[in-house]
A and B are shown apart, each in its own frame.
Chain A
Amino acid sequence: MTRDPARSPADEPAADPPTVGRGGRRRDQAVALGWLVAAWLLLWGDVSWANLLTGLVVGAAVLFFFPLPPVTFGGRLRPGPLLVLAGTFAGELVSASVHVAAVALRPGYRPRGGIIAVPLRVRTDLNLALTAEVISLVPGTLILDIDRARGVLYVHVLDVRGPEDLAGSRDRVLAVERRIVRAVGSPTEVRQLDLEPVERRNHP
């Protein structure tokens, strides 16, 4: 393959990036600075003016020297679905650990795997990133690559015994996406979950 490994489809900008004005960018940076200062204070374990000031300086320096592509938050937080997301995630993290432990400890067993492409319905950077993070911690699935422009996650599936395991993993990824969008997505994105037909998603 002659492709430059440093550049992949995932590195190219999304097809329809959300429009971020100068004010929105400022707001995103202010939110990021707030989180950095909070992390700094937690690291010191003590809220004082000196810690607050050094936190502001360090946070501003981090944002200045390590600028990130803007990930703007256009949705809204919904407490109920957030609880569902957190509760389901905790349960699935436990069953995922038990599953991996069982596979790891079974004598003489060589698990088979598979790599599936799962197109997501909501293609914002935030949803792609959150879904990719969560599916690596639920049973069977692990994020391997991301096609950012087309909104496709490439997922490795552990312990494949038949086609039904691959289909099940595909459904699981889409279920994770649904829970995330319901918890933090905008109303438009929540509607998007039901609008796009399955056929189009599987053959983009």
Chain B
Amino acid sequence: MTAVGVVADWVGGLLLLAGALLSLVAGIGLVRFPDTLDRMHAATKPQVLGVLLLLVGLALRLRTGADLGMLALVAIFQLSTAPVAAQMIGRAAYRSGRIDRSLLDVDELAGR
């Protein structure tokens, strides 16, 4: 194996580890946050970045054209669907009143 391949494998491995840790943090956030709306923050930001890091790590280890195309697709779909899913859940929770209003400082959506 070439030196470049070894470096790519190591960097890829580190990225896989970082992505896994971020996904773990997203899971901890989902459990620990007090309200559905807060939980959706955990389900978008660290979750999406975690998956993206896992994909880049995988790309660095696999290094074949067909796999890279598939990984790029997963990244694009992840980026475009995670916010939509979080919005749908957050909106449903808000409209059905399943949120903790005592945690909100302001609510400019009230009465709309």
Query: A and B from one assembly?
Result: yes
Within 8 A of A (CB), among B72-112: 72-73, 79-80, 82-84, 86-87, 90-91, 94-95, 103-110, 112
- Number of interchain pairs (Cβ within 8 Å): 140
* B28 at the binding interface (Cβ < 8 Å): yes
Shortest A48–chain B CB gap in Å is 12
* A200 at the binding interface (Cβ < 8 Å): no
* A43 at the binding interface (Cβ < 8 Å): yes
Shortest B100–chain A CB gap in Å is 9
* Among candidates A93, A94, A114, residue contacting B105 with C-beta atoms closer than 8 Å: A114
Q: Which of A55-63, A75-83, A101-109, A176-184 binds B?
A: A101-109
Cβ A145 vs Cβ B91 within 8 A: yes
Cβ A166 vs Cβ B33 within 8 A: no
Shortest A85–chain B CB gap in Å is 13
Cβ A144 vs Cβ B91 within 8 A: yes
Knowing A97-B49, A100-B41, A158-B41 touch, does A114 contact B104 (C-beta < 8 A)?
yes
- Residue numbers of A with Cβ under 8 A of B are 5, 9, 39, 41-43, 45-46, 93-94, 96-97, 99-101, 103-105, 110-117, 132-134, 136-137, 139, 142-145, 147, 154, 156, 158, 160, 166
